[in-house]
Amino acid sequence: MKKANSFTLIEILVVVTIIGLLTLVAVVSYSSLLKQARDAKRKEDLSQIAAALEMYRSNNDMYPTTGLIQLTSPTVYIQSIPSDPKNPTNTYYYSASTSDYTLGAYLESGGSTCVAGQCGSNCKYCLGPYGQK
């Protein structure tokens, strides 16, 4: 009697399980990379806003105290205020006096660099005129 060249049920289950595990690892890694990319975008957005704030201060001898919208008009320091990459309706935190400001953003991964309560309860990354706060 000739033996048929076919796979047993256990062999098929082992292969499917291995493929499933590899797929799971790939999805988790990809999700983590997306979070890190969005966090990098948030940090870059705050750096662009900080540069616009410094240009505003060099022309007006103070930082805008009523909000970031002053950076977009009448003199354009930045074309538009960037928004959060995951949720565009979220805005970045901004607080200022005439000689200091704090910009803040929520990061999906990574620890807090903000002084407690400095820029809201959800803020995990703060930036000021001299760099990270």
pLDDT category at 48 given cuts 50, 70, 90 is very high
Cα dihedral 106/103/91/50 (nearest 10): -120
Written out in words, the top-level CATH class of the domain with range 39-132 is alpha beta
From the number of C-beta atoms within 10 Å of its C-beta (0-12, 13-18, 19+), residue 111 rates as: exposed
**Rounded-to-integer distance, Cα 103 and Cα 26, Å:** 34
- For the chain, what are the domain ranges? 39-132
pLDDT category at 87 given cuts 50, 70, 90 is confident
pLDDT category at 3 given cuts 50, 70, 90 is low
pLDDT category at 2 given cuts 50, 70, 90 is low
Residue-averaged pLDDT of the chain: 84
Average pLDDT over residues 80-92: 84
pLDDT category at 4 given cuts 50, 70, 90 is low
Q: Return the percentage of the chain with pLDDT > 70, whole number.
A: 89
